[in-house]
Amino acid sequence: MNKSVVSNLFSRLREKNPLVHHITNIVTVNDCANVTLAIGASPVMANSVEEVEEMVQLANALVLNIGTIQAEIFTAMILAGKVANEKGIPVILDPVGVGATAYRRRIAKELIQKVKISVIRGNASEMYSLIRENGRTRGVDSTDISLDRKILAEKVANLFSCIAVISGETDIVSNGLETVQITNGDHWLTKVTGTGCMTTSLIASFTGTTADYFSASIAGMSVMSLAGERAKKSISEEDGIGHFKAQLMDEIFHMNEEVWGKEVSIIET
Which helix (DSSP H) or strand (DSSP E) does residue 201 occupy? Answer: helix 195-207
Q: CATH number for the domain including 64?
A: 3.40.1190.20
Q: How many structural domains compose the chain? A: 1
For 77, the domain range is 3-268
pLDDT digits (tens, 9 = 90+) for 119-172: 999 999 999 999 874 444 544 444 555 578 899 999 999 999 999 999 999 999
Are 194 and 27 spatial neighbours (Cβ–Cβ below 8 Å)? yes
* DSSP annotation string for 60-124: SEEEEE-TT--HHHHHHHHHHHHHHHHHT--EEEE-TTTTS-HHHHHHHHHHHHHS--SEEEEEH
Are 20 and 32 spatial neighbours (Cβ–Cβ below 8 Å)? no
Alpha-carbon distance 221 to 82, whole Å? Answer: 25
Q: What is the pTM of this model?
A: 0.93
Alpha-carbon distance 161 to 116, whole Å? Answer: 9
What is the average per-residue pLDDT within 172-191? 95
Categorize the per-residue pLDDT at 237 as very low, low, confident or very high, splitting at 50, 70 and 90. Answer: confident
Other residues' Cβ atoms within 10 Å of the Cβ of residue 255:
24
